[in-house]
Amino acid sequence: MYIAETKMSTAFSIFAGLAIFIACLGLFALASFMTEQRKKEIGIRKVLGASVRGVVGMLSKEFSRLVLLSFLLAIPIGWWGISQWLNSYNYKVDIGWEMFIIAGLSAFGIAWITVASHSVKVAISNPVNSLKSE
């Protein structure tokens, strides 16, 4: 009876995984570009005593704002799409807010891991190398 939904679930899972992977690649490229643009600033901060944690936090804060904005925009769209899909069934199911919280925390976690993986590499590097090239 639910063979179509099973096939659709499999297709959605594959494409969602692919979309998350592509989004992580884009986020990593954006973090790479941003750290390259701010290499001298990071070097100066390191010379003046900034910790690796402080540099990573500074870079992650900017991406956190973008992830929060996208999450706030995605909540109403996701809620509307899920409610339209669930209304086609005979038995009604309410959408819990827990699902949105889990999705938001997952998005933040993936974004922080992606940005931190590149930011730590830049923050650990020797600041002299970034400052001596003019």
The pLDDT tens digits along the chain (134 residues) read 778 888 988 999 999 999 989 988 898 898 889 888 888 888 888 888 888 888 888 888 888 888 899 999 999 999 998 888 888 777 878 888 898 999 889 988 988 888 888 888 888 888 877 777 65
- DSSP letter (8 states) at residue 90: S
b/e code 20-57 from CB counts within 10 Å (16+ = b): eeeebeebeebbeebbeebbeebbebbeeebeeeebbe
Q: How far apart are CA 127 and CA 85, in angstroms?
A: 53
Q: How far apart are CA 134 and CA 40, in angstroms?
A: 10
pTM: 0.73
